[in-house]
Structure 1
């Protein structure tokens, strides 16, 4: 199931929910039809419609959770990481366990911070943001990424972390040989 399908399903449920809510609000104080046998029971409609719509919304939410960009979802898509890099953000530098990585294989970055929040972001040589994750004190985020080609990649901080934030960057070198980098 792709993201657009999940979005479309959510939009349909949200639209039905909105129409139902507007209908209930606008008819809450109007008198019931006077014809015998055709009286509309508003309370009964609420008891049936609202739980059904609520269950549909919860069901849609629960089924979309595996599609969020959590590490296990990336591992399922990219494969088990071949290389691992410990990353620590410190005002105003990145400390990397290694700065040379293989191209074409999943790499796991274990990202944390020693002081304040930082944004760990990897850019290609054209300056395009490829992937990113938060670096937080006392917590390790895991980011799995496959570098598409050899070359130099720049790591920058995306979270303002103080007066020298703009200099918080370093370079990764990605080579073509995956078997030599463990």
Structure 2
């Protein structure tokens, strides 16, 4: 590898770690909340998020992450599920009453009230989306529902990637107002 290519590769890796570090700082509380819902406690959730960060740092040394936040959530979920399974195994092995400890683990199913609130919120968002211009609505659905990349949206609509990004951002802001009520 030529020295200039090695330097470019190194700079990209450093920039990627900075991006992921910023994501960690920005989304840490949400990641802990997410993990706490799985493991059943904030202390264990803090450990899970820290472990996830360490693993992601290792992965970043070998390759650039395409969607670091999505990857971060996946690693947190997997580690949290592993931790919960380990807790269940330990409970069964030490002979204590596992039903009491398992009852402490938070139920993952949403309450009927949460389901009703979420349905109402979804209805407001769908109504709000119907008021969007066609191109903005198409870009938003392609990105947020279908998981398409901005490049794909731009190609489909025959626009620039920057305009595709602007359309998705406008649609998100517009629909976010329905949720903010």
- Which structure shows the higher helix fraction? 2
TM-score, length-normalised on structure 2?
0.27
TM-score, length-normalised on structure 1?
0.27
- Which structure shows the higher strand fraction? 1
Q: Which has the larger radius of gyration?
A: 1
